[in-house]
Structure 1
Amino acid sequence: MKEYLILDGYNVINAWPSLKKNADVDLEGAREELAARMAEYSSYTGKNIIIVFDAHLVKGNNGSKEVLRGVKIVYTKERETADSYIEKAIMSIAKTNRVVVATNDWAEQQMVLGGGATRVSVRELIIDFENIKNKIKIKTSKTKTEKDILSTRIDPVLLRKLEKLRRS
């Protein structure tokens, strides 16, 4: 069973303080930053991430989908809200997979629960993301320390020979 995390894109951006601040200046940059954060999140958790952005007020918009750093990004078509897209996605994905939706929209949270998925608030998502970033930081610093310890255990003569061999 695969796990999916679906984000109501603009809802998440507007509730995530650093992304909101960025969006006030550069909305495209905030969308890209959200995708980058979710790519990192996905690589650690193994979850499939779908970010849905409203484009329902854009005249003649046929909608679009793209994959950016392993994250599926959806822009809804004209007259289709992110909520309605997410509802349809839940109905098809949740039949055979675990689906979690990140949003602060109360009405959408009720729809999510009724559709067989679970929900997390944006605050919960931020906390989970920060915890994962800390785990990655600890893991990488531990790996670096282990490498440093290994180099102190090897005979200096052998270490120079290995270094010479590596460089040739």
Structure 2
Amino acid sequence: MKTRWSVASQKHLLVDGANILHTWPELRALLRRERTAAQARLMSELSAAHDSEGVRVTVVFDGSGAELEVTCPGGLQTFAVVRTPRGMTADDFIERWVGRADEPAACWVATGDVGEGRTVAALGAQWITPDQLAAWTRRAAGGLDAKLAGRGRENDRKWQRRS
């Protein structure tokens, strides 16, 4: 019997972390100097999609430990960083997640690996390229900026009415 992982019906963005770090030029340059800073920058970029669109985000890296490691930066369970155990690649994890998802079509996988992209698409997920992911995060950041500016104007009007 196949174990099913419960995945909410909302859109779930699964990111092949190492692939994106090596594909986005600004992250690739930073990666050469400081891996931790490059990973933090990737998380920051992805947080725009998470925060402005309510997208669940999971960034997956190849790990080297004995067990699967999951952390939730900022304490939000809807934004996770996964490091696979030794012997399991990020691709393996992503494929298993999509294959066991209740709604594979709600999974969006970001990778520049054509073979991986085709595999997850065959499993029912949406495959997006690193360039498509970059465009998405820019749009999301722009939408978030607009929302914040609108709230700032609204707060200003409320304060003016109170004065």
Q: Name the TM tier (shorter chain).
A: 0.7 to 0.9
What is the TM-score with the length of structure 1 in the denominator? 0.80
Query: Aligned-pair distance for 1:150?
Result: 5.7
1:18 pairs with 2:26:
yes
CA contact (8 A) 2:27 2:38 kept: yes
Question: Pairwise mapping of residues 11-160 of structure 1 onto structure 2 (< 5 A)?
Answer: 11-55=19-63, 58=64, 61-69=66-74, 70=76, 71-93=79-101, 95-96=102-103, 98-148=106-156, 154=161, 159=163
State the Cα distance separating 1:141 from its structure 2 match. 2.4
The whole-number CA distance in structure 2 between the counterparts of 1:151 and 1:74 is 44
**What SS does the corresponding residue of 2:80 show, helix, strand or coil?**
strand
Cα distance between partner residues in 1 of 2:31 and 2:53:
26
Moved over 3 A (4+): 145-152
Q: Partner letter of residue 96 of structure 1?
A: E
RCO greater where, 1 or 2, for CA within 8 Å and sep 6 or more?
2
Unaligned runs of 5+ in 1: 160-168
TM-score by length of 2: 0.82
Distance 1:114 1:77 in 2: 25
Residue 111 of structure 1 aligns with an amino acid whose one-letter code is T
| CA radius of gyration, larger in | 1
Equivalent residue pairs, number: 151
Structure 2: gaps of 5 or more residues: 1-8
